[in-house]
Structure 1
Amino acid sequence: MQEAAQTVLLVLVTLFPIVDPLGGSPFFLAMTRDYSPEGRRALSWRIAMNSFFLLVATYFVGTYVLAFFGISLPVVQIGGGLIVIATGWSLLKQRDDDKDEKQDVHKTVQPQDTNRRAFYPLTLPLTVGPASISAAITLGANAAHHHMYHPLTILAALIGLVLIAVSILLCYGFADRLARILGPTGMTVITQLSSFLLVCIGVQIAWNGMKALLESLALHIR
């Protein structure tokens, strides 16, 4: 049970600041300004479901796709860990680039066709972008390496991904209320704390892969 709880927390702490439903909610609100609250919640439900299935597929299938191309799990851990570190560090140091990117997405979406484009670009790349996909692949590889997808680990990962989807549903569905309650300062504080934890997790994941490669090298030398 302890390992399952750690898996849930790892999925949450790693993916939440990258998916960043808090930071994405103002852009979602701007893109759906002509929608009623009920229509906005219905659309946020579709985006949350799309994000969940996209992350589940990436988490559980991404490792086997990499294996097909002959990429070992330690290498995935190192590469993915570095990406997670870079993502967390960029979120800590500079969020303007991310905002500009999301604003560019906003410019390409017209209010009348937002519902028709619930997957693209509202789910991908506004909510689940390349960094989220890379992090999910890394988490899946890390879990497969340590637990070989034990049923309890699979359930724990699914719970973590469900919680991510729920956070998207709540942040997007109630974006108008969230913006009033938290304000820009509150959103910044939450995101900055999550980003710091993200850097630490990336270091740990990269170290796990490096340690496995060093142990493999030591065995070959002997």
Structure 2
Amino acid sequence: MHFDTIYNQVLLVLQASILVLAALFPIVNPIGSAAVYLAMVQNVDASTQLKLAKRITMYSFVLLIASMLFGGKILSFFGISLYSVQIGGGLIVAANGWLLLNKDASKDRAAMPNPEAVLAQAFYPYTLPITVGPGSISVAVALGAHLPSEFHVRSFISPGILISSLLGTIVTCAIVYICYRWAKPAADLLGKSGTTVLMRLSSFISFCIGIQILTSGIRAYIDVLR
């Protein structure tokens, strides 16, 4: 009986971890986010980029876990709906994508950003909304609300659910770190022309993602009014 209990707990942790990873990975989209990130830090020195990647990874982990644990309660306390988060976040992501799309590369090459100023922006905008945007927060809040009922446990802080959520989030953030850490070497392999094309394309995709998040929020708001 004791062995069966342990086996069931391990199975629950594995299943929930895979569910968390499968839910977060597509919406966080580390590869696409890394391309946008690279467009913003292409003139930053390697050591600062390494520090920045570590901070973004740490902030992303904290933000996702906090959204799972407290996101629903915080939104409810302030009377904020998920569609409001989507509308506001979508506007920010779209505006950032538009700025990157119209960025003058020749002026960027002439300007060398201050490392301290770059690191001060690790949370905003590099973590929120570039890496963990409103879509990711919405998914994390939904996971925190539905995982307990999905696996028939009392609350999100039940050991099995909490451990699996930590594991799934850690794996997601580890992939974010790998993609951001090696974004510059990957761009060097592509060459100058390839990198320019990738950056413009990723900026356009970021703009489109922002519009998609915005329209999803507006659609949800219209549905509530009906």
TM interval, shorter chain, is: 0.5 to 0.7
| TM-superposition CA deviations, 1:174-203 (whole Å, max 9, x none) | 11234548x97xxx9xxxxxxxxxxxxxxx
Q: What's the CA shift for 1:145?
A: 2.8
Name the counterpart of 2:65: 56
Q: Are the equivalent residues in 2 in contact too, given 1:41–1:169 (CA < 8 A)? A: no
In structure 2, what residue type is equivalent to 1:152? G
Q: 2: distance between equivalents of 1:104 and 1:44?
A: 23
Q: What's the CA shift for 1:20?
A: 1.1
Moved more, 47-56 or 35-44: 35-44
* 1:165 matches 2:173: yes
Q: Are the equivalent residues in 1 in contact too, given 2:93–2:130 (CA < 8 A)? A: no
- Structure 2 residues without counterparts, runs of 5 or longer: 1-9, 203-226
In structure 1, what residue type is equivalent to 2:12? E
Q: Are the equivalent residues in 1 in contact too, given 2:20–2:169 (CA < 8 A)? A: yes
* 1:177 matches 2:181: no
Q: Are the equivalent residues in 1 in contact too, given 2:92–2:129 (CA < 8 A)? A: no
Q: What's the CA shift for 1:114?
A: 2.1
Q: 2: distance between equivalents of 1:8 and 1:32?
A: 32
Change (3 A) 1:124 1:99: closer
* 1:37 matches 2:46: yes
Q: 2: distance between equivalents of 1:13 and 1:172?
A: 20
Change (3 A) 1:65 1:22: same
| TM-superposition CA deviations, 1:27-46 (whole Å, max 9, x none) | 21121112233321211000
Q: Could you tell me the TM-score, scaled by structure 2's length?
A: 0.61
Q: Are the equivalent residues in 2 in contact too, given 1:105–1:121 (CA < 8 A)? A: no
Name the counterpart of 1:143: 147
Name the counterpart of 1:25: 34
* 1:129 matches 2:123: no
How many residues are treated as equivalent by the alignment?
162
| TM-superposition CA deviations, 1:63-116 (whole Å, max 9, x none) | 334665899xxxx9xx89xx9xxxxxxxxxxxxx99965533646x98433222
Name the counterpart of 1:104: 98
Tell me which of 7, 13, 22 is aligned to 1:13. 22
Q: 2: distance between equivalents of 1:45 and 1:33?
A: 17
Name the counterpart of 2:122: 118
Q: Are the equivalent residues in 2 in contact too, given 1:105–1:126 (CA < 8 A)? A: no
Q: 1: distance between equivalents of 2:118 and 2:79?
A: 40
Q: 1: distance between equivalents of 2:99 and 2:161?
A: 35
Q: 2: distance between equivalents of 1:46 and 1:70?
A: 30
Change (3 A) 1:47 1:153: same
SS at match of 1:124: helix
Q: Could you tell me the TM-score, scaled by structure 1's length?
A: 0.62
Q: What's the CA shift for 1:19?
A: 1.0
Q: Are the equivalent residues in 2 in contact too, given 1:4–1:153 (CA < 8 A)? A: yes
- Structure 1 residues without counterparts, runs of 5 or longer: 84-96, 189-222
